[in-house]
Amino acid sequence: MAKCKRCGIKTVLSEADIERMVGEVRSMPRIRLTDEETYEKRLTVCRSCEKLEYGSTCALCGCVMQVRALMRDGHCPFPRKPKW
């Protein structure tokens, strides 16, 4: 199984992997989450982005987009014109 050299996370995540990660972040009391409408809009943008790899990883920052998009203060790292 291929893993990211930097963080050790599997390169290709299953839906179960992603759901578990999202659930863990949602349960962290100190993490400020965005609202559901914004979250869904961000996911839609990411899913059509040419920088999305394996259906879950942003090639620009290496983040799992389903997790990054959850963050209230999160932003898209797309150069010059962030997509969200």
Tell me which residues touch ligand SF4 (CB under 6 A).
45-46, 49, 51-52, 58, 60, 65, 76-78, 83
Choose between 70 and 76: whose C-beta lies nearer to ligand SF4: 76
Main-chain phi, psi angles of 44, to 5 degrees: -60, -45
- Minimum distance between the CB of residue 1 and ligand SF4, rounded to whole angstroms? 22
Choose between 17 and 78: whose C-beta lies nearer to ligand SF4: 78
